[in-house]
Amino acid sequence: MNPVLFSTKLNWALIIFFMSCIFTPLCMADNTQPCNWAAVNQERFSEILTMIDSRVEDNYDRIKTWQGKVNMVFINRHKGENVKRFYDRMLVDKPLPNEVIDHVELKRKFALDGNKGLQYESVYPDAQQYVLDTQTGNEIQLNERVQINSGTKILTPTYQIISRERKDRDGVIVARRTIKQKRPAGMPIRRSNLPPVFDPRDTMRIFGDINEETFAPLGGTFAKQLKYFDKQPLLDGHPTITVKECVLGDVKKYKISLITLTRGSDGETIPLFFNLVCSSEMGFNVVSYSLTDAEGKKFEEKTFEYELFNDVYLPVRKDDLNFDHSTGNLIKHNSITFYNEKVNKPIPEETFGYQNLGLENGDRFIDRISDKTFAYKNGELIEVAEND
């Protein structure tokens, strides 16, 4: 890689990471006009929250098929003992610095057929990882055996196929190993022992449902909160729900705060606040979300950008930030950017077949359902003895 270009990438990684907490609040607005938030009368809470829930869920339910590509960036900051625990074997340079930034970039191609329960993902083999010394800004050399896995996965209602690429020390793909295994009947993939397959709908989910009855974006949270609000408008001296409204021409925005209680490490009860901003410009989808304490100090923040595709609002970018609550420092910044998106367009059946795994002649295909081993040859799977 060109050293000048590489240095520029590293500098941008540092700038993006350290400045995100400063600029993110400015970028989350979906227009340049400032909002004058006005408190909403409690009598309108049910009407507004029910409307938002209905619009968001209806948009989500209109997604039948979805295909496209994503760029993903994962930036994590570790210090002290965590550096030794996570990076001692990975990094060549010693002694290890006290604080590092781990920067990973990768691209995925995906396809989803929600009606048939089919998912496909392919991770491109050009993923990059940089580990930086935060004090000097210098890159730390990775062990030459450290490789970011690339390959393809297919998920159906009854089975999953995972094809991983094997690379040599220079990062060149030398073979692929593919395993087909049964999917536990009636069990969500996230609760099975199978590696998850990228589901683009996950980027739209704010809460999900704790009982896994639904994974729609709001997961019935507003309805549950309204029932609780009827019984207990105040919790630990704070309003259970607050709603504020902002009108900018034809655009309406709502700022919603929901409270919950949790226990700290010392056993003390702590109020936490889920703060959401929804905009009519994005079909009332959530454009920003944060989890804070009573003083407004953040634990987590998410921002979303949506565009309209074929009468469906789809995310085009999502940023997920985590903060050290004690210091307020940004410790994690994950981002995902979509492109080449298509929604509710026909997807060829072969997209979810073994022919779409990127196999080459001689690659092994192990079927743990039939307990047979195959070799890929000219587009077909030929049964072979396991040790051949």
Q: In this predicted model, what pLDDT tens digit does every residue of 369-384 receive, in sequence order?
A: 999 999 999 999 999 9
Q: Is the pLDDT of residue 77 over 70?
A: yes
Domain count, the chain: 1
> Is residue 153 in some structural domain?
yes
> Is residue 370 in some structural domain?
no
Question: What is the chain's alpha carbon radius of gyration, rounded to the nearest angstrom?
Answer: 24
> Is residue 180 in some structural domain?
yes
Can you tell me the mean pLDDT for 188-215? 76
Q: Which pLDDT does position 27 carry in this prediction?
A: 38
> Where are the alpha helices (H) located in 90-159, listed in sequence order?
none
> Is residue 383 in some structural domain?
no
Helix 221-231 vs helix 45-61: crossing angle, to nearest 10? 160
pTM of the model: 0.85
DSSP of 87-99, one letter per residue?
Answer: HTTTB-SSSPPSE
Q: Which pLDDT does position 236 carry in this prediction?
A: 82
Q: Which pLDDT does position 176 carry in this prediction?
A: 82
Distance CA 186, CA 194 (A): 14
Can you tell me the mean pLDDT for 69-79? 96
Distance CA 242, CA 235 (A): 12
> Is residue 349 in some structural domain?
yes
> How are beta strands 251-263 and 269-279 bridged, if at all?
antiparallel
Distance CA 158, CA 133 (A): 46
The position carrying tokens 């944060």 is: 290
Q: How confident is the model at residue 22 (pLDDT cuts 50, 70, 90)?
A: very low
Of 103, 106, 148, nearest to 130 (Cα)?
103
Higher pLDDT, 164 or 5: 164
Distance CA 329, CA 175 (A): 43
Q: Are 272 and 292 in contact (CB under 8 A)?
A: yes
Q: Is the pLDDT of residue 211 over 70?
A: no
Q: Which pLDDT does position 196 carry in this prediction?
A: 87
Give residue 231's domain range: 3-357
Can you tell me the mean pLDDT for 347-353? 94
Chain centroid offset of residue 223 CA: 25
Q: Is the pLDDT of residue 254 over 90?
A: yes
Q: Which pLDDT does position 30 carry in this prediction?
A: 42
Distance CA 111, CA 67 (A): 4
Can you tell me the mean pLDDT for 75-101? 91
> Is residue 322 in some structural domain?
yes
Q: Are 165 and 147 in contact (CB under 8 A)?
A: no
Q: Which pLDDT does position 110 carry in this prediction?
A: 98
Residue type, 136: T
| Residue length of the chain | 388
Q: Which pLDDT does position 4 carry in this prediction?
A: 37
Can you tell me the mean pLDDT for 341-349? 95
